[in-house]
Amino acid sequence: MNKDMNKDPVIIEAWFPLALNMISSRKRTKTVAGICDKFDYVPMLKRIKIKKEKKDYLNYTMKFEAAVKEILAGANDSSIARRYVLDLEALRIEIQRFRNSGAAEYEYDNGRIFSLKEELMLLEILATIPQPFCTCPTCALDRLPYLAYHLALRKGKSYPREWDEHRQAGKEWQTNFKIKYDYEISNSFLTECNRKM
């Protein structure tokens, strides 16, 4: 078997949707078990070590998104703001912005390609790389552009056209991701590369 997952699209294309399913549900399914047997590895539901500030922001965005969705479903905005301990005016501005956008479904922080939660999901997917393949930061991040592109496709995200040309995320997005998640990457992946040259 070719030990360089980055250069074997058959392996990575078979593995990605199953890893995404496993990360989304936080448990192994029969399908995931099948791919594990096929590629002879045990998947890890590995938690990424996240900076406290990012955890706080993620909690805030999830709370804000839940509050907006409740208000859009007809709940009283003042009582929702009190219950979630959020600024009422900020909620009203966000609801108006969403209504003016014409989007079908509300998602907090949609000015970016992925939400913080989805970016953390990408890191978790990278952490489920099968054991025969290297999971050092360099090798894992080599897979990132491919995974980001396919996650964007699967979730119906708007992304730059250049991603379609190369069937992977662009260099600017990759660089920004690496800078933004440097702490999580350096604290969650193996430090030594074990890829066979």
**DSSP letter, residue 69:** H
The stretches of the chain forming alpha helices (DSSP H) are 9-25, 30-39, 52-72, 77-84, 88-101, 116-127, 137-155, 162-166, 171-180, 182-188
Neighbours of 38 (CB within 10 A): 13
pLDDT in tens, 112-168: 788 888 888 888 888 777 666 777 888 888 888 988 998 888 888 888 889 999 888
Question: Alpha-carbon distance 12 to 118, whole Å?
Answer: 19
Q: What is the mean pLDDT of residues 74-103?
A: 89
Return the domain boundaries, the chain: 9-45+113-187, 52-101
Residue 75 has pLDDT above 90, yes or no: yes
- Closest CA relative to residue 177, chosen from 144, 134, 137: 144
Closest CA to 66 of 79, 78, 80, 52: 80
Q: List pLDDT tens digits, range 30-70.
A: 555 555 555 554 444 456 667 788 778 778 888 888 999 99
Q: Are 147 and 23 within 8 A, CB to CB?
A: no
- Structure pTM? 0.63
CA 55 to chain centroid, in Å, comes to 14
